[in-house]
Structure 1
Amino acid sequence: MDSQKYIPRSVENCAFDETLTGRHMVFIAGPRQVGKTLLAKNWLKQKECASLYFNWDDPSIRRAYLANSRFFESPARSLSIRDPWIVFDEIHKRNRWRDILKGAYDSFNDEFRFLVTGSARFDVFRRSGDSLVGRYNLFHLFPFNLSEIIGTNRKTCFLEENVPKKLFAGFDEEISCALPPAMEQAFHGYLRFGPFPEPFIRQNERFSRKWHQDYLSLVIREDLKDISRVLDLDKIEHLLLLLSPRIMAPLSMANLAGELEVAHTTVKSWLEQLRRLFLIFSVPPWTRKISRGLRREKKWYFLDWLYAPEGPARLENMVATCLFRACSAMTDMGYGHYKLYYLRTIDKREIDFIIEVDNAPMVVIEVKSTDKVLSNSLRNRHRWFPKPTLGIQVVDRRGILERHPDQSWLVSVERFLSLLV
């Protein structure tokens, strides 16, 4: 893959769609080193506004603001174009950043467009009292998906349909399309190097190992202090090491607390901080009324599956990440409220993933390394979901595409993941 070529990101299809955002500020949040700055600069270049990029980590930008709170106005007007775009990067690290944005938007929203990029704090402040309510739309930029890598860059996918019959028809049509010739090589690199742009594009084993080692330290020791007063950073790093072999299983907070020699509530708080930093994410159990009860603990996965053990755990983590990203994207795009769950009963019947749309289960997914036989849980899912659902068993074998009764499919993992936004 050409490291100098810009790879368009699917979030651009919705974040810059005025039918969705109107003239609101566009906020793009996401993990460190996921490509937010590159996306912003590329957008400015397209709109002929390259000079209107302002990184608030730059002392000269902060001095310019202190001297004149409208410091961006003259450069924007001097371009003599309609609706120039202005980018404020890393402004969320500054004191009173919400007041700064509120003042800029209220003064210039009829003339200028604003793109604001940042990380964990965007999701954090949205949960608290917010002076920017009604002035922005928040979107998420996650690491690459397969459609971005192979250049199809989906604007949406079969999940946009929340009526079962339409969803089934959309999936049938999309899953049967021929795969691009580059798919096998792209998927091999995707699984091997992970979804983050730099290690994926370089595709060098030593670089990837070094990058992934350094990334954890950077996020924990630099970004964590931005959103938390956590002091015991060594134990948080240890927590991540303990989390790795627990991928695929409901996570016992009590066991982790015992190994770390901290309180149960402390472990819960640390996991939440790591989630806000986009290092990990949780998949809760599906909690509708089901006979034989449910396991109540959440499953936790890494956003980058390279931190999961090789083998079935890494495969499941990769599928989990792509489903989590798709649910977030479909919600951001306004198609509904998408949530990802798993199901496990007391008698150990299990379904790996359930996609729920507006409180209705729509898609049921099982992940298998090589098994070409449809799982009992998938075949008999109607016992838990009386209304029709799409059943998909994803297998780590190339060239698999089988249709079974009751809207059930057996599909190669790369074919399935290529359908997701």
Structure 2
Amino acid sequence: MEAPHRTDILISGGGMAGLIAAAAFGADGHRVICVDPAPPITAEEEGGADLRTTAFLQPSIRLFERSGLWARLSAHAAPLQIMRIIDAGGATPEARLVREFDAADISEAPFGYNLPNWLVRREAAALIDDMPNVEFRPGTGTEELVTREDEAIARLSDGSRIAARLVIGADGRDSVIRNALGIPVRTTRYGQKALAFAVTHELPHRNISTEIHRSGGPFTLVPLPDRDGKPCSAVVWLERGPEVERLLRLPNDTFEAALNARSTGILGHLTPVTRLSSWPIVSQLAARFTGRRTALIAEAAHVLPPIGAQGLNMSLADLSLLLDLSRGEPGSRDSLDEYQRRRWPEARMRMSGIDLLNRTSMIAPRPLRDLRAAGLGALYGIAPVRRLMMRAGLGAGRD
């Protein structure tokens, strides 16, 4: 049998987390191979393009700067200066409670920046294409993994074998790497689905991200750069599954009316400008994040509802710590033990918080929605609590 090709880092998965990981490890001087069964879709108009956006918080922006990716992304990013929470759980979908969290209360910088997912993939793929020590192999997946004390050997779908000091599973919620390690997962299904699309609107967003609670799940408007000379935002709309299916079947004008009713008119009239995408909402946590010479990041390790900009930011927190721990011997037992010790409890804690927020946002009975509004109003009205929650959301003081 032919000897395996050797590298420092093998990344299984070429989604956003995998491509960013390849760029970051490459920028740190490691030899990297990244594989994915499918090529990245890097244009908004292509079929199958990921039309969601991600609010990258400041710790993630620092990782982008470290990898060289921020220079490619900054011109396309919309800053997030204020996070606004609205309760619209009364008899009609109108704002009856508004609380705002201003980044200026804790920092001179905004909370972060919002970017389209397809664009991040495009720029990450372009960056690693320019790195002589990084190889991206789209159209090639990982099929088998054997781990040893000194290396892990993966067999790829093209028949080749790769020996790496560290294998990173960034291959999603059905991770081949996690399954090869025999790591179980705990999954919670909420009976919800999310709709994601972009809208233009009459009023400027003023770099404010708005999360509106009524029932079924939060309705979130996240700033984007202007589109065709008009203010633009990304929408993530969570509802129970049957309601999302009903919304998807509506004629365009009826859907637009439902959209504007749900938005409480906070940005004036909203007009959809991209196709709708939808996906089921679950939370999922792997029983552990490591094996011999192997680490799980992103959705291979944890999946959670799109609330509070925690999903991909948690994934990049995984990556940032793994980078720091890999400065000596990538994949060493000590480094992976430390990664497990620090990231798994942090992920479990944040998932518990997001689970509570999501279940609270799903409340349907009117009396319970009234209690929710009263509780949120009291909690968010206490200045020290507000600052603590903002710092916790950013991951300040952790990792």
TM-score by length of 2: 0.29
Higher CA-based Rg: 1
Higher strand share: 2
Higher relative contact order (CA 8 A, sep 6+): 2
